[in-house]
Amino acid sequence: MLVLILATLAVALLLPVSGGAAEALEVVTKIGIFVLFFGYGAKLSGAEALAGLRNWRVHLVILAATFVVFPLLAIPVLAIPDTVLSEPMRVGLVFLCLVPSTVQSSITFTSLAGGNVASAMVAATASNVLGVILTPLLAMLFLPATSGGSIGLGQIWAVVVQLLLPFVLGQASRFATADFMARNKARIRYLDQGVIALIVYGAFSQLRVSGVWRELRPEDLLLVTALIAVLLAGMFWLTWAAGGWLGFSREDRIAVMFCGTKKSLATGVPMASVLFSGAVVSVLVIPLMFYHQAQLVVSSVLAGRLRRAGEPAA
């Protein structure tokens, strides 16, 4: 995924699209996003969801970490002056804190570390489903007016139509699509990555054509990287410690840690393209892309340590 994103960035900056080609790409991208979230709905198995629903305390902690703790940690970022961190990058950091958790990587790392996979599956899926509504509402609360425009009911309705509606349709289609989705999991993953690549290519093409890239400052990137490192480390510690404070089993603590620290690039980038307008989207998603890659690296190391140790190693 990292290689794909970097390659897409390079192509977009070297060979950007504009005019009629850019409009055609936007239409194709919207269709791709619709198909992507239809697939999310079609992949969600009711039997698998019911298997993990009983562990409601774990789910509440994970959802609280995603939609309460992360947004609260974003409040100090809003106070950073423009002279220290430019507005688009500051908004991008805040938006990073508002997006839902990942599904695939949360489940994968929980499994690798020997955690409660059923609970991770339910919590991560619930995070994505609720995030379609909660993330725009939180954005409207935290980012009422940005350089990308104001967020209001129109943007929230656009998210419902472009993201929630296809998800619901995908769920309704499971009687006909469940077998196909199960047989083609690996191939469908390419669709997920392809849609993200389309969004990134379109956003960074606008960045190149509009000249907004000239506003990026090296000090912004350095500060964002440092803040992301602090945020990621703090959330890994907090989610692991919270599981211990609440008396969770080792398996549940692992699920809380790996689900409660994740932020979804696959969901966040389409949301940003709907909520914000213009080339500013390409700048806003930079912190999310940085965080996404950092969480994968750190999670892979921690999952390996936990699995080898067979006991709490954090």
pLDDT digits (tens, 9 = 90+) for 217-234: 888 889 999 999 999 999
Q: What pLDDT does residue 235 have?
A: 96
**Better-scored residue on pLDDT, 105 or 52:** 105
Name all domains of the chain by residue range, CATH numbers in brackets: 2-309 (1.20.1530.20)
Most confident of 55-59, 146-150, 155-159: 55-59
Q: What pLDDT does residue 262 have?
A: 92
Q: How confident is the model at residue 313 (pLDDT cuts 50, 70, 90)?
A: very low
Q: What pLDDT does residue 46 have?
A: 63
- Tell me, letter by letter, the H, E, C secondary structure of the chain: CHHHHHHHHHHHHHCCCCHHHHHHHHHHHHHHHHHHHHHHHHHCCHHHHHHHCCCHHHHHHHHHHHHHHHHHHHHHHHCCCCCCCCHHHHHHHHHHHHCCCCCHHHHHHHHHCCCCHHHHHHHHHHHHHHHHHHHHHHHHHHCCEECCEECCHHHHHHHHHHHHHHHHHHHHCHHHHHHHHHHCHHHHHHHHHHHHHHHHHHHHHHHHHHCHHHHCCHHHHHHHHHHHHHHHHHHHHHHHHHHHHCCCCHHHHHHHHHHHCCCCHHHHHHHHHHHCCCCHHHHHCHHHHHHHHHHHHHHHHHHHHHHHHCCCCC
* Rounded percentage of the chain residues whose pLDDT exceeds 70: 82
pLDDT per residue over 108-152, tens digit each? Answer: 788 888 888 778 878 887 887 788 888 888 988 887 655 444 455
Q: How confident is the model at residue 252 (pLDDT cuts 50, 70, 90)?
A: very high
Q: What pLDDT does residue 150 have?
A: 47
Is residue 114 left, alpha or beta, with left meaning phi > 0 and alpha meaning psi from -120 to 50?
left
191's tokens? 């669709």
Asked whether residue 176 carries a pLDDT value surpassing 60, the answer given is yes
